[in-house]
Structure 1
Amino acid sequence: MTYSTKQLADLAGVTPRTLRYYDKIGLLKAQRNPDNQYRVYTQTEVDRLQTIRFLQLFEMPLAQVKVLLDGPAENLTVALKQQRKRITAKRDQLSLLLTTLDQTLEKGVDTMTDDEKFAAFKDQSIKANEQQYGEEIRQQYGDDIVEASNKKFRDMSQAQVAQLTALQQEILDALKPLVGTTDFNTPEAKRVFKLHKQFLQMTWPSEQYSQKAHRGLAAMYVSDPTF
């Protein structure tokens, strides 16, 4: 079976313009009808488009998608398995939010404790962090420390969560003027260090923080592009 550009666009939930662009950049090359030179898509292109759609679910750049599709099959398999993990984590996050919403509808906001109201949002933050950095931080610090840190976050009051969120933003704002600098002895750089130390002390298990551990985390930031 073959599809016209519009038929495949409707089937895949994309626009005809998107398919024409994919053809132009060599990501999804259409066949040509010999009678009129219109684009047509065979089962091979349909299967390739399905894979493209899976890889794009979390905004993977098209250039990277093309490299995976045109490269060794084992690399594509690894990438699809990673996407499956991300989809599963996202499903779990939404399930947590739905559970909390159902509790709100059943109990009413006034009868829920503050912890019940925000537990799902905390778990969502933890799962998002695990999804993005879990493998690296567990290799670096071990499962016990990561789980203890997650528990510490779950046990925070809403005031503490608000304080932590404000501290994160303060760190980001303070870092912006320092991008590209190599002088770390300025008052501004020292302030960022102190803010980051405060952040780690709030989120790490109480016995975990040390200057050595802080330096190790900084080295990970520099060496691992994930961070």
Structure 2
Amino acid sequence: MKMKVKEVADLVGISVRTLHHYDDIGLLTPSETTESGYRLYSDDDLEKLQQILFFRELDFPLKKIRNILESPSFDRNEALQMHRKMLLEKRRRLDQMIETIDKTIQFTKGEIDMTNEEKFAGFDFSQNPYEEEARERWGDEAIDKTKAHYAAMSEDERKAVEQQFNNIYRKIAALRKGEPDSDEAQAAIQEWYDFLNQNSGHHFSLEAFKCIGQMYVDDERFTKNIDQYGTGLAKFMCDAMTVFADRNKKS
């Protein structure tokens, strides 16, 4: 029996507006539309919707999902196995972060000691949840080069890059209560600029670097992630990156 859009929305727990949007962009077009304009979803449509939502849970952008599902080589069972593997990894990281939170609560109460490494156990910035926005801002070529550059690294090289990333952020976080134009802050931001250009497979212009800093405060998701290293860090980095870009343009 086919279902109307409101029935599907209630079943799945998403909005009617979302289903309409999926239809509008060609991601999920219901198998039938009545003369009066009602969308009717078949069992096959629901299976496709399930697949879409698995991808969304893993932060795939809608355009990427559509391309995957439209590919002649797409195999549903293979995709389900991939979803399972990725969700297990996501659960593992979340469990580790919950453990880090529990330890941090004990640490703040003075019940245990924590090393700096333990304070950041579970954080993983190797997967970018904002890839779609990045592609819109700087284009596919820059993002594809970054992903290819990272994928070509060995496991040890990736760990070294992630450690360097964390070290730079901790260094800048320790300076965030000072002035963003101080020599110490600008030296740390220079290190961040060099890190991005050395480890992304793409050279970011000073203007792009400045835009990245602005995005740290314009997008609350970035702010939330960055401020995990210290409250106010996103704003401080934005200001310091602006100073860095403006100064170096003049030199």
Using the size of structure 1 for normalisation, the TM-score is 0.55
Matched, 1:163 2:164: no
Partner of 1:90: 90
Partner of 1:38: 38
Partner of 1:209: none
Matched, 1:153 2:169: no
Give the letter for the 1:90 counterpart: K
How far apart are the structure 2 equivalents of 1:105 and 1:144? 31
Give the conservation status (yes or no) of the 8 Å contact 1:33–1:39. yes
Q: Report sequence identity in percent.
A: 24
Partner of 2:120: 121
How far apart are the structure 2 equivalents of 1:146 and 1:6? 46
Partner of 2:17: 17
1:52 Cα deviation after fit: 1.0
Residue by residue over 1:14-35, the C-alpha shift from the partner in whole angstroms, topping out at 9 and shown as x without a partner, is 211121222233221221246x
Q: Which runs of 5+ in 1 are unaligned?
A: 180-227
Q: Secondary structure at the match of 2:60?
A: coil
How far apart are the structure 2 equivalents of 1:2 and 1:52? 19
Q: 1:143 to 1:175 in 2, by over 3 A?
A: closer
Matched, 1:27 2:27: yes
Partner of 1:208: none
1:94 Cα deviation after fit: 1.3
Q: 1:114 to 1:40 in 2, by over 3 A?
A: same
Residue by residue over 1:67-125, the C-alpha shift from the partner in whole angstroms, topping out at 9 and shown as x without a partner, is 22122244666665555444333222211121122334456532332417x51524423
Q: 1:107 to 1:63 in 2, by over 3 A?
A: closer
Moved more, 51-60 or 91-100: 51-60
How far apart are the structure 1 equivalents of 2:169 and 2:63? 38
Residue by residue over 1:169-220, the C-alpha shift from the partner in whole angstroms, topping out at 9 and shown as x without a partner, is 45469954266xxxxxxxxxxxxxxxxxxxxxxxxxxxxxxxxxxxxxxxxx
Partner of 1:2: 2
How far apart are the structure 2 equivalents of 1:175 and 1:37? 48
Residue by residue over 1:141-161, the C-alpha shift from the partner in whole angstroms, topping out at 9 and shown as x without a partner, is x445555x37x939x9x9876
Q: 1:43 to 1:76 in 2, by over 3 A?
A: closer
Give the conservation status (yes or no) of the 8 Å contact 1:5–1:19. yes
Residue by residue over 1:38-64, the C-alpha shift from the partner in whole angstroms, topping out at 9 and shown as x without a partner, is 211111110011111112224433232
State the superposition RMSD in angstroms: 4.1
Q: 1:161 to 1:61 in 2, by over 3 A?
A: closer
Q: Secondary structure at the match of 1:40?
A: strand
Using the size of structure 2 for normalisation, the TM-score is 0.51
Moved more, 52-61 or 93-102: 52-61
More helix by share: 1
Give the letter for the 2:92 counterpart: D
Partner of 1:177: 206
Q: Secondary structure at the match of 1:72?
A: coil
Partner of 1:57: 57
How far apart are the structure 2 equivalents of 1:76 and 1:22? 19
Q: Secondary structure at the match of 1:124?
A: coil
